[in-house]
Chain A
């Protein structure tokens, strides 16, 4: 009964382009980026710079203020958060919309029937593929290191290799270096785990709620139940984007602050 669902952690290859395998998560990324670019070009060309904004522009300005608030809460002030705001907004929008891609009803049913019991959807939410979340984590990590080097120069490396505070200071520096690299795994696995587990939960609940009674109309009585799970996953996607952006801002603030005697553990 429940063993005819097909869950695969890795994204399935849709076609081969001279040896480069294009997976359905890549097609999902292209779809999300296409949608974001097209909508931002349309909305940007109709912005009202003076006068009363209309409803759509009002909503977008409200959203911008929220994300600016998240970044400035982490980094410290709106002025300090300004250089990173473009990346922060882009990451937030990309994570939210690419996690929502798998929740739109019907999107996961467009696909190729490879064998009679193996179905490859042609679009897959990019954040359910570990490759995409590792890429996002690398982008965030490089931004954090760049912020540290930009603010402190080469003495940023002095945080990790401390030779002036004795043996204990040296080991604290080593532990800080290890936790820098652990952030890569933490960022990527947190996002991947939340969104992928959400999709698996939807599939499992959907496969469990089809009854096998003798009354035909009662069979489909449980079909609306996954809707509640889908609503929960919509909120989880927004929360994961908030957490990703907030943590990135916090780590940028920690990387930018002065040397170790000011660092509060």
Chain B
């Protein structure tokens, strides 16, 4: 098994496993935000701001996994 093959398998594993957590987290944040707006439709703008902030933090962890995968494969 050559080094290139190991690198590609490692890339795939890092990206696949690293996206599980953030995907679940973003889904939960979106669901919580939706039910919060359902309870209090007047606060929609504030809840949207908080939701976007939470999603951005969760997504940046997914991006870290992606960039680590790139570094493993191409560097």
Contact = CB atoms under 8 A, between A and B. Distances in A.
Question: Do they bind each other?
Answer: yes
Contact of A189 (B53, B60, B74): B60
Given A9-B70, A186-B60, A243-B56, 10 more contacts: A7-B74, A9-B71, A73-B49, A189-B60, A189-B63, A194-B63, A196-B70, A243-B52, A246-B49, A246-B52
B6 interface: no
Interface string A160-191: 00000000000000000000000000100110
Main secondary structure of the interface of B (DSSP, over half): helix
Interface of B: 49, 52-53, 56, 59-60, 63-64, 66-67, 70-71, 74-75
Interface in A64-89: 73
A247 B63 contact: no
Contacts of A243: 52, 56
Interface in A200-256: 200, 243, 246-247, 250
A192 interface: yes
Contacts of A250: 53
A243 B63 CA distance: 14
A181 to B, nearest CB: 15
Interface string A4-31: 0001110000000000000000000000
Nearest to B59: A190
B74 A246 contact: no
A243 B75 CA distance: 29
Contacts of B64: 189, 193
A152 to B, nearest CB: 23
B68 to A, nearest CB: 10
Interface of A: 7-9, 73, 186, 189-190, 192-194, 196-197, 200, 243, 246-247, 250
A192 B53 contact: no
Nearest to B75: A9
Contacts of A9: 70-71, 74-75
B49 A247 contact: no
26 contacts: A9-B70, A9-B71, A9-B74, A73-B49, A186-B60, A189-B60, A189-B63, A189-B64, A189-B67, A190-B56, A190-B59, A190-B60, A193-B60, A193-B63, A193-B64, A194-B63, A197-B63, A197-B70, A200-B70, A243-B52, A243-B56, A246-B49, A246-B52, A246-B53, A247-B53, A250-B53
